[in-house]
Amino acid sequence: MLFSRRGGPRTRRLLFSLLLLASWKTGSCQVHYSVPEEAKHGTFVGRIAQDLGLELAELVPRLFRVASEGRGDLLEVNLQNGILFVNSRIDREELCGRSVECSIHLEVVVERPLQVFHVEVEVKDINDNPPVFPENKKRIIIAESRSPETRFPLDGASDADVGANSALTYQIDPSDYFALDTKHNREQTSSLSLVLRKSLDREEIQEHRLLLTATDGGKPALTGTVQLLITVLDVNDNAPEFDKFIYKVKVLENAFNGTLVFKLNATDPDDGINGDIIYSFRRPVSPAILNAFIINPNSGEIRTKGTLDFEEEKFYEISVEAADQGNIPMAGHCTILVEILDINDNAPEVTITSLSLPVPEDAQVGTVIALVSVSDRDSGTNGQVTCTLTPHVPFKLVSTFKNYYSLVLDSALDRESVANYIIVVTARDGGSPSLSATASVSVEVADVNDNAPTFAQPEYTVFVKENNPPGCHIFTVSARDADAQENALVSYSLVERRVGERALSSYVSVHAESGRVFALQPLDHEELELLRFQPRQPNPDWRYSASLRAGMHSSVHLEEAGILRAGPGGADQQWPTVSSATPEPEAGEVSPPVGAGVNSNSWTFKYGPGNPKQSGPSELPDKFIIPGSPAIISIRQEPANSHIDKSDFITFGKKEETKKKKKKKKGNKTQEKKEKGNSTTDNSDQ
């Protein structure tokens, strides 16, 4: 790994930790290693777990894994010691061809929580490939009439290595007639020529044999050779010539089949067949050139053949020969450099992986949902990709490394509002016109218990006839929960308390599932006028209750109609009367039946149609007295839509003396019930 080695181990670990922390803060992390090609199995590459700040003990529980797209199993990680090592043979030339840079990109993923790291392993070239010539023997025909300094092009050797390991030098056997000349041009291609040093004499030497040697720049250096067989002929003394040695052309990769690339024009001063020129690709011809171009031997036109693809081949070097038709053919040579121009013909590709679904609705902002990677085979602006998300969703894309993104939570979720999101990732390149691709992922929001059960109203008032049968149903409560599945299941229970000297549960019970409230024993109005209790939902996470008030009234008091007399000067009014159930009503104290204000002493009556003696609505008396009692009820009228509590405008005057306690015998009460039984109101089946 490329880290500074100055200082002790603690210094290096501290420096790396600081650098790694800085990388995490920016949302991306990259560790760089290097390894020579052809390294043996098990060769140490780096302490990847330590360099990424991961503990060895958490590699297996956090599902540590390494992926390398299209690279197979070249590298592996020992989960016991966190060391990255060579697993199989790495051939740089097979992996990256002639590319100067060659790296294996690893994606390291751990979960709980989900983290992704990007590791780059540079494959270093070694000098494992010798220079190779296209053929072992090269035959060259030279007329004896050729003048000194005439140049004859030679095919140079190729070396699959890169850098200094592929830098070639040439030498030839010592000769009085021939010399070797090498020239490099701006396109980083070399022209190798055999130069005639003095005139040939076929009668003296008919054939020359020379050994051409290529040596690369590796240490130790490797070599390759080719045997040059030079035949001297005596006839046609002028070869075709081109006005340039190198021609440059550019062709769009979407050029139609048969598009003209270049028209050759060589000249030969000879007459007749000695001046007739035939054009051809100079052998040997690479399959790539034969598949992409065709040459007309008579006109010298070079046209496209099939389709060109910038992503497959960006540059072609075509060697052309122009040979005359003399008895001893002579040839001229040139090179055409064809540059393929990229067009925006590849749409981006989007991949979504490592999904963490479903997402709890209480997930923290910044939680990683998925990993997104994009790619585009085009180059330059055409290959520059930008990613966007579906608008108006609580997610965003965070760039982690080059064309890698994390899909993270951007704002709080609420399953009760939106339970599922269809997230569409759009990748668009910078071409004109631009191309785009989309990938979608369905993000389900998982429910958490964040809603309390609620009752329809906070308080219910129920009237029950006394002497009810044990176990009778007096009321049903119902609560709803906005959550889902088990979080929405509601059960009911009573809030236990004491009623006098007895527990509330000895009077009533509530069914845990249905919410049905039952009276467990007969209720006695004279003993218990009002029983107030709270059912609740016994969920360990939430508590919500509603109050029930059950008033026990005798049949006589429920049915009799009394007269509330208006104060002095007021008219008598006929009102339905519900008298106090308190055994000893004190001055100004009246029990609160249906409609009374909570926790207040109040008196409820009805003013409306059905009472023949009542005044009109606009003549409502402002004072009433209770028959047989000096208590005075004062009423302050408010508009119909007023929301003022009753306790704010209903008051009681105090009695001058306390009424004596009235004792009733059970027999009298039973007789009254029988007399009034036909009009009794019974709410026990509500």
How many CB atoms within 10 Å of residue 413? 23
- The verdict on 332 and 255 lying in the same domain is yes
Phi/psi for 674 (5° steps) reads -65, -35
Q: What sections of 260-406 are H helices per DSSP?
A: 287-292
CA–CA dist 380, 340 (Å, integer): 14
CA–CA dist 225, 117 (Å, integer): 48
Is 615 domain-assigned?
no
- The verdict on 40 and 106 lying in the same domain is yes
Overall pTM > 0.75: no
Distances 104 to 37, 91, 167, 415 between C-alpha atoms, Å: 12, 12, 25, 42
> Are 463 and 553 within 8 A, CB to CB?
yes
Strand 547-553 vs strand 459-465: parallel, antiparallel, or unpaired? parallel
Q: Of 76, 98, 124, at which residue does a domain stop?
A: 124
- The verdict on 226 and 249 lying in the same domain is no
Looking up residue 301, the CATH number of its domain turns out to be: 2.60.40.60
Q: For the chain, which residues score pLDDT lower than 50?
A: 1-28, 187-188, 539-545, 549, 551-686
CA–CA dist 351, 347 (Å, integer): 13
133, amino acid identity: F
Strand 223-233 vs strand 207-215: parallel, antiparallel, or unpaired? antiparallel
Residue 12 has what pLDDT? Answer: 41
CA–CA dist 182, 193 (Å, integer): 6
Closest to 533 in 3D by CA, of 574, 492, 565, 567? 492
> What b/e string do you get for 454-487 counting C-beta neighbours within 10 Å, with b at 16 or more?
bbeeeebbbbbbbbbeeeeebbebebebebeeeb
Could you give the strand order of the β-sheet that contains 420-429, starting from the edge strand earlier in sequence?
359-360, 436-446, 420-429, 385-389
Q: What is the pLDDT of residues 505-517, one digit of tens each?
A: 888 999 988 889 9
Residue 645 has what pLDDT? Answer: 44
Per the document, the length of the chain is 686
Strand partners, 321: 280, 333
> Are 153 and 302 within 8 A, CB to CB?
no
CA–CA dist 163, 217 (Å, integer): 9
Is 24 domain-assigned?
no
Looking up tokens 């020359």 gives 208
Give me the number of domains the chain comprises: 5
Question: Which structure tokens are listed for 415?
Answer: 């399953």
Is 622 domain-assigned?
no
Enclosing domain of residue 522: 454-536
- The verdict on 145 and 209 lying in the same domain is yes
Phi/psi for 25 (5° steps) reads -65, -30
Q: Of 233, 267, 302, at which residue does a domain stop?
A: 233
CA–CA dist 628, 635 (Å, integer): 20
Strand ranges in 470-510 using DSSP code E only, listed in sequence order:
472-476, 479-480, 493-494, 498-499, 502-503, 508-510
Is 567 domain-assigned?
no
Helix (H) or strand (E) holding 173: none
Q: Of 492, 508, 536, at which residue does a domain stop?
A: 536
Is 433 domain-assigned?
yes
- The verdict on 64 and 117 lying in the same domain is yes
Handedness of CA 116, 117, 121, 122 (dihedral sign): positive
CA–CA dist 639, 650 (Å, integer): 15
- The verdict on 71 and 156 lying in the same domain is no
Name every residue whose Cβ is closer than 8 Å to that of residue 398 and which is 6 or more positions away in sequence.
27, 405, 406, 408
Is 211 domain-assigned?
yes
- The verdict on 267 and 333 lying in the same domain is yes
- The verdict on 432 and 459 lying in the same domain is no
- The verdict on 360 and 411 lying in the same domain is yes
DSSP, residue by residue, 90-107: --HHHHHTT-S--EEEEE
Is 75 domain-assigned?
yes
Question: Which structure tokens are listed for 541?
Answer: 């996470």
Distance from the first to the final alpha carbon of the chain: 80
- The verdict on 392 and 462 lying in the same domain is no
- The verdict on 251 and 311 lying in the same domain is yes
- The verdict on 99 and 58 lying in the same domain is yes
Residue 559 has what pLDDT? Answer: 23
Is 98 domain-assigned?
yes
Q: What sections of 568-635 are H helices per DSSP?
A: none
Residue 569 has what pLDDT? Answer: 39
Question: Which structure tokens are listed for 104?
Answer: 């294996």
Residue 472 has what pLDDT? Answer: 93
Residue 184 has what pLDDT? Answer: 63
Radius of gyration of the chain (CA): 51
